[in-house]
Structure 1
Amino acid sequence: MTATLPYLGYIVQGLTVTIGVTLAIFASAMVVGAFVALGSASEKLALVFFARTYITVFRALPELLCVFIVYYGADIALQASAARFGTPYPDISPFAAVTVALGIQFGAYCAEIFGDARRAIPKGLHEAGDALGLGPFKVVRRITLPLVLVNATPALGNLFLVILKVSALASVIGLEELTRRAKIVAGTTREPFAPYAIAAICFLIVTAAAGFLQHYLERRSQFGRRAVKP
C-alpha cells in the first residue's frame, strides 16, 4: 500500500477522463436514440425498418467488439485515405473512437427507452392539445417532449450507470482513464490490490453521486403529478 500512495493523484486524475468519456457517450447515445426513436415511430415503412434493424443489431453486439470495429476500422480507412491523397497519416483519438462506438451502440438502448416513454403518454393529452388549438410542433414541444423526458428519467439514469462502468473498455485502445491508470500503477509498484481498490472506491463515489442525482430528478419530475386526495 505504501508504494501506491505516491501514485494516488495519478490514479484519481484518471477519474476526470472516465467521467468525461461517460458524459460524451451518454450525450451521443441520447442524440442517436432520439433520432432512431423518431424513425421507429414514423409512418414511413422504410424508416421503421431501418430503425428496428439498427436497434436489433446494436443491442446484440458486445460493447468491446464495437470499440474494436470503430477504432481499427477508422485506422484502416484513414491509412487508405492518406495513401491515396498523399496526406499525412493522422492518429486515431481513443477518446473519439470509444465515444463514437459506444454512443452508436447505446443509442439503440436510448431509442427503446424513448419509444417506451412516448407510448406511455395517454393519447388524450395529445387530443387535448389539438382541442386547445396547438399545432403539431407545439404539441410535441409542450406536451410530448416534456412527458417523454419525465417517463424516461429512471431508465436513462440506469443507463448512465451502465455506461460509466462500460467506459472502462476505453483502456483496451490506450485511453488513460481510471482503470488503465490503476493497471499502470499496479505494474509499476507490484501491488495490484491497492491501485484497483482505489479505482473501485472512485467508481463507487461517482455511482453514489449519480444515483443521488437520479433520485432527485425523479422526485422533481413527479412534483405536481401526484393525484390530490380529497
Structure 2
Amino acid sequence: MLATLPFLGYILEGLTITIGATLVGFAGAMLIGATLATLISGSNAFLNTAATGYVTVFRALPELLFVFIVYYGLDIAMRAFAARIGLSSLEISPFVAVAIALAVQFGAYCAEIFGDARRAIPVGLIEAGEAIGLSDSRVRTRIVLPLMFINATPALGNIFLVVLKVSALASVIGLEEVTRRAKVVAGATKEPFGAFAVAAACFLVVTAIATALQHYLERRANFGRSAVKS
C-alpha cells in the first residue's frame, strides 16, 4: 500500500478525466432523451416510430460492446474521410468516443425517464396555460419542460451515478481515466490492492458528492411541486 502513495497525484489526475467524460456524456444523454421523449409524445407517426425504435435498440446493447462499436466505427469512418480529402490520417480521441457512446446509449434511458415525467404532469396545468392564451411553444417552455425536469430529478440522479460507473469502461479503449491509471500503477508497484483501493475511494467520493447534490435537487423539486399544488 505504501508503494502506491507516491502515485496518488497520477491516479487523481485520471479522476478529472473520468468526471469530464461522465459530465459530457450525461449532458448529451439528457439532450437526446428530452428530444426523443418529445418525438415519442408527438403526433408524427414516423418520428414517433423512429424514436421508439432508437430507445428499444440502444437499451438492449451492452455498454462495453457499444463503446467498442463507437470507437472503432468512428475510427474507420474518420480514416476513410481523411483518405477522401487527401489527408494522411485522422484519429478519434478515446475521450470523444466514450462521451458519444455514453450520450447515445443513455439517451435512450433518459427518453423513458422524460416520457414518464411528462405523463406525470397534470393535464389541468397545460389546459390552464392554453386557457390564458399561451401559445403551444410557451406552454411547452414555461409549463411542460420545467415540470418535466422537476419530476425527472430523482431518476436522472440515479442515471448520472450509473454513467459515472460505466465510464470506467473507457479504459478498454485507452482513455487515461482513473481505472486505467490505477492499473498502470498496480503494474509498476506490484501492489494491485493499493492502486485499485485508491481508485475505488475516488469513485466513492464522487458518488457521495453526487448523491448529496441529488438530494438537494430533490428537496428543491419537492418545494416546486408544493408551490405548484398550492
- Structure 2: gaps spanning 5 or more residues: none
Aligned partner of 2:142 in structure 1 is 142
Instruction: Output one character per residue of 1:136-170: Cα deviation in whole Å (capped at 9) or x when no partner.
Output: 11111111111001000000000000000000011
Aligned partner of 1:118 in structure 2 is 118
Q: Tell me how many residue pairs correspond in the alignment.
A: 227
| Cα distance in 2, alignment partners of residues 156 and 206 from structure 1 | 16
Note the C-alpha offset of 1:85.
3.0
Aligned partner of 1:44 in structure 2 is 44
Aligned partner of 1:129 in structure 2 is 129
Q: Give the AA of the match of 1:97.
A: A
| Cα distance in 2, alignment partners of residues 225 and 100 from structure 1 | 33
| Cα distance in 1, alignment partners of residues 74 and 224 from structure 2 | 49
Q: Secondary structure at the match of 1:226?
A: helix
| Cα distance in 1, alignment partners of residues 115 and 225 from structure 2 | 21
Q: What is the TM-score of this pair, normalised by structure 1?
A: 0.96
| Cα distance in 2, alignment partners of residues 28 and 146 from structure 1 | 18
| Cα distance in 1, alignment partners of residues 56 and 73 from structure 2 | 21
Aligned partner of 2:170 in structure 1 is 170
Q: Secondary structure at the match of 1:176?
A: coil
| Cα distance in 1, alignment partners of residues 176 and 50 from structure 2 | 36
Instruction: Output one character per residue of 1:20-52: Cα deviation in whole Å (capped at 9) or x when no partner.
Output: 000000001011111111111111110111011
Aligned partner of 1:180 in structure 2 is 180
Q: Secondary structure at the match of 1:157?
A: helix
| Cα distance in 2, alignment partners of residues 132 and 66 from structure 1 | 47
Counterparts of residues 15-94 of structure 1 (less than 5 Å): 15-94=15-94
Aligned partner of 2:154 in structure 1 is 154
- Structure 1: gaps spanning 5 or more residues: none
Instruction: Output one character per residue of 1:96-117: Cα deviation in whole Å (capped at 9) or x when no partner.
Output: 0011112100000011111000
Q: What is the TM-score of this pair, normalised by structure 2?
A: 0.96
Q: State percent identity of aligned pairs.
A: 67
Higher helix residue share: 2
| Cα distance in 2, alignment partners of residues 135 and 116 from structure 1 | 23
| Cα distance in 2, alignment partners of residues 85 and 137 from structure 1 | 42
Note the C-alpha offset of 1:55.
0.2
**Cα RMSD, aligned residues only:** 1.1
| Cα distance in 2, alignment partners of residues 217 and 2 from structure 1 | 39
